[in-house]
Amino acid sequence: MAEPQVWPQGYRCAVAVTVDYNDIHGILTQAPEVAGRDKTLSVWRYGSQRGVERLLALLDELRVPVTWFVPGIVAEENPGHVRAIQAAGHEIACAGYRHANYDRLSLAEQQLELQRGCQALADLTGQRPRGFRIPAGNWAPGFVEALHGQGIRWSSSWRGDDLPFPHPTRPQVIELPLHYELEDEPYFAFNLSPAVPPGQSRIASYSHTLGNLQLDFAGFHRFGLLYVLRLHPEIIATPGRIGLLRELLQGIQQHEDAWVARAGEIAQWWTERAQPLAEDHPAAIYERHYRAYLP
Domain residue spans in the chain?
Answer: 4-292
Residue-wise pLDDT for 177-200, tens only, equals 999 999 999 999 887 777 777 776
Res. 292: pLDDT tops 50: yes
Averaged pLDDT for residues 1-20: 84
Give the CA distances from residue 104 to residues 112, 137, 177, in Å, rounded to whole numbers and listed in that order.
13, 8, 23
Residue-wise pLDDT for 210-244, tens only, equals 999 999 999 999 999 999 999 999 999 999 999 99
pTM value is 0.93
DSSP3 helix / strand / coil % (the chain, rounded to 5): 50, 15, 40
CA 260 to chain centre: 15
Residue-wise pLDDT for 30-75, tens only, equals 878 888 888 877 877 878 899 999 999 999 999 999 999 999 999 9
The CATH code of domain 4-292 reads 3.20.20.370
Distance CA 286, CA 118 (A): 27
pLDDT score for 262: 98
Helix orientation angle between 107-125 and 79-87, rounded to the nearest 10 degrees: 70
Q: Please give the backbone phi and psi of residue 271, each rounded to the nearest 5 degrees, phi first.
A: -60, -40
Beta strand spans in the chain (E): 13-20, 66-70, 91-94, 131-132, 154-155, 165-166, 174-175, 226-231, 258-260
pLDDT bucket at 4, cuts 50 / 70 / 90: very low
Eight-state DSSP code of residue 17: E
